[in-house]
Amino acid sequence: MAFNLNDKLVIAVASSALFDLTESDKVFREQHESAYRKYQRQNEKTPLEKGVAFSLIKRLLSLNTAEDHLIEVILLSRNDPDTGLRVFNSIATHGLNISRAVFTAGENPFKYMEALNASLFLSGNIDDVKEAIKFNCPAGYVANKKYEDSDDEELRLAFDFDGVIADDESETVYQENGGLESYQEYEKEHADDKMGEGPLFKFVKQLAEIQKKELKKADEDPEYIPIIRIAICTARNAPAHERAIKSLRKWDLRVDEAFFLGGVDKTTVLNVFKPHIFFDDQQSHIESVGEYFPSAHIPYGVTNKNRES
């Protein structure tokens, strides 16, 4: 019987997000493909160091049990199978339960996301991520930085709201119809209207469903400690908070913590929450938070269109 991905939370991760490819990329850029292939073969038994998304992927996979396989992580790589062997060896060395991969020999692998039922693609290649977003595929760019992981078993994820979980309808009003005053008035008028779904909606929805199973286990077994903790960290504040809360309610999305900051630097609260990843559509927020915690830029919507124009 074929392995069914339709009932799984599927994460597609590029080797550039999972591991630190600084040295490999340097060889490719400076000495080109033949030298790169030789370098990877010579070092295929040398494990790659952990990358930005490593702790996230490790903790997600820890949710799987022998009885309940909830999450599937699939490697989507621009390598070919030969040069990609080092990545697979590194996966085994680091003890990650990842057994499936797509190698595309230089092509952007995002086009296989739909076939694999993936609700998130993480990559260290910004062009790959932008192209994925252009074709309405949920994707995030992670810049190559080193982070120290904590020893606890909890998995903490933080999300911006507009342009990430929700669409950019309200952000468009803010940027194109007169700024904060018009935006606040618009949100008050539409407080009861559910917002449209953003690029990471499916990922958050599936994650929240897994969290519900965790909370049910905790109800049945007082010794069981739920692992997942979800936070929203947004520049919205009153009165715009109401529409966000009502949209979450209508989507049946539970969050553990919500920060309605009204322009306060997001690092002030995230330094306390300590996310294993933070998703935001605004590059300026990613640059700030990314100094301290793994972060993914979602280059979606009006904010990023205006930035590129």
Write down the pLDDT at residue 65: 87
Write down the pLDDT at residue 50: 95
Counting as low any pLDDT under 50, the low residues of the chain are: none
Write down the pLDDT at residue 215: 94
Residue 154's contacts (CB-CB under 8 Å, 6 or more residues apart) are 59, 227, 228, 229
Pairwise CA distance, residues 41 & 220, whole Å: 50
Report CA 190 to chain centroid distance, whole Å: 29
Question: Residue ranges per domain, the chain?
Answer: 9-141, 155-308
CATH fold of 9-141 reads: Rossmann fold (3.40.50)
Write down the pLDDT at residue 309: 56
CATH fold of 155-308 reads: Rossmann fold (3.40.50)
Say yes or no: do domains 9-141 and 155-308 share a fold.
yes
Write down the pLDDT at residue 67: 85
Fill in the amino acid letter for 79: N
Write down the pLDDT at residue 138: 97
Known catalytic residue at 160? yes
Catalytic residue among 25, 82, 149, 160: 160
Nearest to 305, CA basis, from 274, 282, 286 = 282
Write down the pLDDT at residue 56: 96
Pairwise CA distance, residues 225 & 219, whole Å: 10
